[in-house]
A and B are shown apart, each in its own frame.
Chain A
Amino acid sequence: MVDLALKMILDDKTRFAITVLGVGFAVALVLTQVGLFFGLLDNASVTIDRLDADLWVTARNTPNVDFANPFPESYVQRVRSVPGVTRADNLIVWYAIVSLPSGAKEQVVYYGLENFPLWNFPWDVASGDPSDLRRGRYVMLDESAERRFGAFEAGDYREFLGRRLKIIGKTRGARSFTTSPIAFVDYGLAQALAPDELEGRTTFVIVKLDPNADPIAVAAEIRRRLPYNDVYTKADWASASQHYWIESTGLGLTIFLTVFLGALVGVVIVAQTLYASVAEHLSEFGTVKALGGRNLDVYGIIAEQATFAAALGYGVGFLFAQALGPVLEQLDMRMIITPTVYVMVFVGTLALCLAASALSFRKVASLDPAIVFRG
Chain B
Amino acid sequence: MLAIEARDVTKTYGEGRLAVPVLRGVSLSVARGEVVALEGPSGSGKTTLLCILGCLLTPSSGRIAIDGQDVDPHRADRLWKVRRRSIGFVFQQFNLFPSLTATENVQYTLNLRGWRGRKATREADRVLDQVGLGHRKDFRPRDLSGGQKQRVAVARALAGSAPLILADEPTGNLDSEAGAQVLDLFRSLAKVENRGLMIVTHDPSVRSIADRVISIRDGQLTTGEAN
Residues of A within 8 A of B (CB): 1-2, 4, 7-8, 10-11, 283-284, 286-294, 297, 368-370, 372-375
Contacts and interface: CB of A to CB of B under 8 A. Distances in A.
Interface in B94-146: 95, 97-100, 104, 107-109, 111-113, 116
Contact of A373 (B85, B91, B107): B91
Given A284-B97, A290-B83, A292-B83, A370 B108 contact: no
B56 A287 contact: no
B91 A7 contact: no
A282 to B, nearest CB: 12
Given A292-B113, A368-B56, 14 more contacts: A2-B104, A11-B99, A283-B95, A284-B97, A287-B95, A290-B83, A292-B80, A292-B87, A297-B112, A372-B56, A372-B89, A373-B47, A373-B51, A373-B91
A228 B93 CA distance: 86
B50 A4 contact: no
Contact of B56 (A7, A11, A290, A375): A290
A373 B168 CA distance: 7
A372 B91 contact: yes
Nearest to B50: A373
Contacts of A292: 80-81, 83-85, 87, 112-113
Most chain-A Cβ atoms within 10 A of its Cβ — which of B97, B98, B107? B97
A8 B96 CA distance: 12
B54 interface: yes
Contacts of A290: 54, 56, 83, 89, 95
Contacts of A370: 47, 51, 56-57
A369 B84 CA distance: 13
B194 interface: no
A7 B50 CA distance: 31
Contacts of B57: 370
Contact of A4 (B47, B83, B87, B97): B97
15 contacts: A8-B99, A284-B95, A284-B97, A284-B98, A286-B95, A287-B97, A291-B83, A291-B112, A292-B80, A292-B83, A292-B85, A373-B51, A373-B56, A374-B47, A375-B93
B92 interface: yes
Contact of A294 (B47, B50, B80, B109): B80
Contact of A2 (B51, B83, B108): B108
A4 B100 contact: yes
B156 to A, nearest CB: 8
Contacts of B95: 283-284, 286-287, 290, 372
A370 B58 CA distance: 11
A370 B89 CA distance: 11
B144 to A, nearest CB: 16
Contacts of A374: 47
A288 B96 CA distance: 10
Contacts of A375: 92-93
B154 to A, nearest CB: 14
Contacts of B111: 1-2
Contacts of A289: 80
Contacts of B51: 370, 373
A-B residue pairs, 5 tightest by C-beta: A292-B84, A11-B99, A7-B99, A292-B83, A2-B108
Contacts of A287: 91, 95, 97
